[in-house]
Amino acid sequence: MSLHPETLLAHAGTSVDTNNGAILHPPQMVTTFHRSGDGSYPSGNIYTRSSNPTRRLFEETLATLEGGAACAAFSSGQAATMAILQSLSPDSHVLIPESAYFGIGALLSEVLEGKSLTFDRVDMTNLIEVKAKILPNTRLIWVETPSNPLCLISDIEALARLAHQNEAVLVVDNTLSTPLLQNPLKHGADLVMHSVTKFLSGHSDVLAGAVIAKEETLLQKIRQVQILGGAVMDPFSAWLALRGMRSLGARMRIHQENARLIASFLAGHHRVKCVHYPGLATGDVQTLVAHQMSGYGGLFSFEVYGTAEDALAITSRVKVFTRATSLGGTESLIEHRYSVEKPPTTTPPTLLRCSVGLEHPDDLIEDLAQALSF
């Protein structure tokens, strides 16, 4: 019987403990494992930096949900990104989106560039431009779709073809969609990266990341970097992430329904210039969304008329939304990204990003309506 993702999620990490009948295993808060007299490790575990049963349970669950062969779980989304980049051979060139989660560009430009890698930014929604920027030593193309915070949609299948023609791998940051709404490996991507901190965990209390590979061999070097470098997901975070994932199906339905209602309200507001949300896409973008996604998610952004200061002032008036960074929790968050990212960011100065939580949608709409009335 092939089960739907909602069913797999509802049972994530649950199985009967035959020792005592408990229907859940507690987190294995332990660093080291017993060695037999003959020198072997019968459990397969040696030391928690290399492997831990709770982390492995999380990894197997997420690999299944993404349709991948294997998964490695990290101490944060950025640690997962770092391991992917550090696994490349020296002198590799990397292409990243002009508009994407701010941290990947900062990691490349401030930490890695020059040491072993070079990189370029490109508009990943424009395949002609992507093709033109591929170099003979391009080994990795990174795409985030929908992107944070502009919700840009890139064509995963077309980018995978371009990458493979050049012996490069395509990595998709799938944080905003989660495996419930988009499975990039099924569209030709080689690796999927998640900030587990966001919708997957879902309660703003876990910092974690993950990489899922289409084939086990693609994960070997990444695992080596992870285990030797030590940026692993700790057992309690793995346990909390699994607990969060069990309600992802139900949460995502509400995140998305709320986001759709608020985005539609804002799209008709006289102070709002435009709303960026996959659910409001039109034309070719709408076709692409329908082809590679099964839902629109809970994050959108909007641009207001006026200045950066006007946009910031709107956030000062919210009462139900919380002013904070991050996304994917039960509470709605609003953020003026431009003042965090600073020029030369591609994020517009008058953009506000909203992560829509599980509150009653009328309260959220009323809150934004009063914040926008000045």
Ligand X SMILES: *Cc1c(COP(=O)(O)O)cnc(C)c1O
* Footprint of ligand X (CB under 6 A): 76-78, 101, 103, 144, 148, 173, 175-176, 195, 197-198, 207, 209, 327
Smallest gap from Cβ 103 to ligand X, in A, equals 5
Our CB check for ligand X shows the closer of 208 and 263 to be: 208
Mention every residue, 6+ apart, whose C-beta is less than 8 A from residue 366.
320
Our CB check for ligand X shows the closer of 193 and 272 to be: 193
Q: Which residue is nearest to ligand X (CB)?
A: 77
Smallest gap from Cβ 302 to ligand X, in A, equals 18
Smallest gap from Cβ 101 to ligand X, in A, equals 4
Our CB check for ligand X shows the closer of 10 and 107 to be: 107
How far, in Å, CA of 307 to CA of 184, rounded? 37
Our CB check for ligand X shows the closer of 235 and 298 to be: 298
Our CB check for ligand X shows the closer of 138 and 195 to be: 195
Smallest gap from Cβ 199 to ligand X, in A, equals 9
Our CB check for ligand X shows the closer of 102 and 265 to be: 102
Our CB check for ligand X shows the closer of 45 and 337 to be: 337
Smallest gap from Cβ 250 to ligand X, in A, equals 21
Smallest gap from Cβ 175 to ligand X, in A, equals 4
Smallest gap from Cβ 3 to ligand X, in A, equals 28
